[in-house]
Amino acid sequence: MKIVLFIVLISLTFGISEKNYQQKYTQIIYPYVQTFSSANFKGVANKQVHYLSKDVGAHKGAIVIVPGKSEPALRYAEIAYDLKSQGYAIYIIDHRGMGQSARLLSDGSDKVYVDRFTDYVSDLKTFMDTVVIPQKYKKVVFLGHSMGGAIIALYLEKYKQDVAGAILSAPMLQINTGKYPEKFAYTVTSFLSLIGLEKTYALGETKWKEKPFSERSLSSSSVRYWTSEVFIPQKHPETISGGATNRWVKESIAATWRAKRNSFKIATPILLLQAGNDRLSVAAGQDAFLSKIKLSTKRVYASSRHGILMETDIIRNQALQDVIGFIRSLPVNRP
């Protein structure tokens, strides 16, 4: 595996710290994301897919943020604020059935469902072809978290020239299925989908409800946990997504298998951010995926939980420095 080397030579200071975080978030970050343009495009089966964008008035480059499962675009407001100093336009997509995009089930529930995992990939391609690429940016970079990382992986196996590079944060390339082996979870959810239960919650999944901060939370920063689990759901209840359906689990496990099997097709430089204390994405799957990619590097944050970019300042600041250093190291992908 050939490693892409990059060095950040300056100390970077980011928007807000955990000290007085809630006050600063409501006074600085939330007003900033309200300045983003909000729009929709038609994805697979003519479903409305929502996105946020911030044009900085230059064609230097663009960063396309691809969230994880159940994450609305609004959750990436602080990250967008931290990246704005780089002079890149920012785009954040709401996946079909999530955030402010059209829901996929007629029962009005918050269940996470998808017909085919490749629908996410097709939506992203349509978004790139109709919204981002026509702007003729010199450099376009993907930044994807968890499920977003799996979507990007499948995208890059097929569409090699669209971006200069991709950052995958705790990518979902092997799902932690707990005490049940991955193949068993796939077999069970496949069977349940086959007999008409594809739209019911998978085992252990439930309707969304606010959870108290704990050792099992996706971030060890209680104040950033407050942003995602309290502030945004209260301000924008329409963005709430709950537990996964049997169909989503089946499709997602199969997608991770495809991503690992075909990663040798990826020619795009990859930076993978790995969380040492990740309860959702399995590191072995991420390593297997990277092992076949020539232009790749990995950064490990030993004490980080799954939400690396929403972690404590000490973890998050280092990760953001790695992200910005990688973006700066990439050549333009369009003259």
The overall average pLDDT reported for the chain is 93
Instruction: Confirm whether 200 is domain-assigned.
Output: yes
Q: How many CB atoms lie within 10 A of CB 243?
A: 20
Instruction: Confirm whether 246 is domain-assigned.
Output: yes
Instruction: Confirm whether 190 is domain-assigned.
Output: yes
CATH number at residue 256: 3.40.50.1820
Structure tokens at 225: 């946990």
Residue 275 lies in domain: 21-329
pLDDT of 10 strictly over 50: no
Instruction: Confirm whether 130 is domain-assigned.
Output: yes
Pairwise pLDDT comparison (8 vs 204), residue with the higher score: 204
Quote the pTM value: 0.95
pLDDT tens-place string over residues 139-185? 999 999 999 999 999 999 999 899 999 999 999 999 999 888 999 99
Structure tokens at 145: 């978290």
Question: CA 226, CA 194: separation in Å to the nearest integer?
Answer: 39
Q: Structural domain tally of the chain? A: 1
Q: Taking Cα atoms as reference points, which of 240, 232, 246, 249 lies closest to residue 208?
A: 240
Instruction: Confirm whether 7 is domain-assigned.
Output: no
Instruction: Confirm whether 8 is domain-assigned.
Output: no
Q: What percent of the chain has pLDDT over 70?
A: 96
pLDDT tens-place string over residues 200-242? 999 999 999 888 898 778 999 999 999 999 999 999 999 999 9
Question: CA 131, CA 90: separation in Å to the nearest integer?
Answer: 12
Instruction: Confirm whether 201 is domain-assigned.
Output: yes
